[in-house]
Homo-oligomer: A and B are copies of this chain.
Amino acid sequence: MNNQLNNIKEVISNYIEINDEEWADYSSKFRIKEIKKKERILNEGSICRDVFFVDRGLLRIYFTDNKGEEKNFHFALENTFATDYESFLKNIPSNYSIQALEDTTLVLMSYEMLHDGYKELRYGEKLGRLLAEEYFFMFSEKIQSIYTISPLERYNKLKTRFPKILQRIPQHYIASYLNISSVHLSRLINSELHK
């Protein structure tokens, strides 16, 4: 078996029951893509045609605000999925761009493949639903976090939950993710140190 599909098989198996026969057929449809640091796999304005599974590496998903500044929306770690779900589903131009922060190995699932899965896999519908729901819950948590806790608290939460991620992502990208300026984040971190 293609080694590069071990991880995605593991992750999908956590969502649904899938047997060897199903996997053999279905997995042949995946495409593998290797991209270099800084390379983009989705550009604002174009249609997002795949769900990207990060086998190795790290992605940032970002969009542009009305001042022309890039805002980081999400970081996709190994063994997680990334896409612009709205562009993907509706087949409309995306507001987001997706860029590699490190050399990255991706497994691509096209729209057709996902829909084939609805028919060919016993739990294909369930897989589609669970992927959508997980994406939805991420959004929900993000909004609640914006409304209910301060930027510094959000930073500390991130630090507690994904301690290693902060070593891999430049701090000014984290600031953008928290929707504050890089100067301000630096101040918050360092003034907390000196308490």
Q: Which residues of A contact B (CB under 8 A)?
A: 63-66, 71, 73, 85-86, 89, 95, 125, 129, 132-133, 135-137, 139-140, 142-144, 146-149, 153, 179
Chain B residue contacts of A136, Cβ below 8 A: 85-86, 132, 135-136, 139
Tell me the minimal C-beta distance from A151 to chain B in angstroms: 12
Q: Are A73 and B143 in contact (CB under 8 A)?
A: yes
Q: Are A148 and B73 in contact (CB under 8 A)?
A: no
Q: Are A86 and B143 in contact (CB under 8 A)?
A: no
Q: Are B148 and A86 in contact (CB under 8 A)?
A: no
Chain B residue contacts of A66, Cβ below 8 A: 148-149, 153
- Residue of B whose beta carbon sits closest to that of A150: B66
A-B contacts, 15 listed (Cβ < 8 Å): A63-B148, A64-B148, A65-B147, A65-B149, A71-B147, A73-B147, A95-B144, A129-B129, A132-B132, A132-B133, A139-B143, A142-B143, A146-B146, A146-B179, A147-B179
Cα(A95)–Cα(B144), bound, Å: 9
Cα(A63)–Cα(B145), bound, Å: 11
A-B contacts besides A125-B125, A129-B129, A132-B132, 12 pairs, CB < 8 Å: A63-B144, A73-B143, A86-B140, A89-B133, A95-B144, A129-B132, A132-B133, A132-B136, A136-B136, A146-B146, A146-B179, A147-B179
Q: Are B137 and A86 in contact (CB under 8 A)?
A: yes
Chain B residue contacts of A149, Cβ below 8 A: 65-66
From B64, B137, B139, B179, contact of A140 by CB (8 A): B139
Chain B residue contacts of A73, Cβ below 8 A: 143, 147
- Residue of B whose beta carbon sits closest to that of A71: B147
Tell me the minimal C-beta distance from A115 to chain B in angstroms: 12
Tell me the minimal C-beta distance from A182 to chain B in angstroms: 15
Chain B residue contacts of A139, Cβ below 8 A: 136, 139-140, 143
